[in-house]
Amino acid sequence: MSEETKSAEETGPGLRKQRVGIVRSTGMDKTIVVEYTNRVPHPQFKKIVKRSKKFYAHDEKEEAAVGDKVRIEECRPLSKKKCWKLVDVLTH
Work out the mean pLDDT of the chain and round it to a whole number: 89
Asked if the structure places residue 4 within a domain, the reply is no
> What is the signed CA dihedral for 6, 37, 75, 31, rounded to 10 degrees?
150
Number of domains comprising the chain: 1
CATH number at residue 75: 2.40.50.140
Domain hosting 22: range is 15-91
Note if the pTM is more than 0.85. no
pLDDT in tens, 23-48: 999 999 999 999 999 999 999 999 99
Asked if the structure places residue 3 within a domain, the reply is no
Q: Where on the phi/psi map is residue 26: left (φ > 0), alpha (ψ -120 to 50), or beta? A: alpha
| C-beta neighbour count of 45 within 10 angstroms | 8
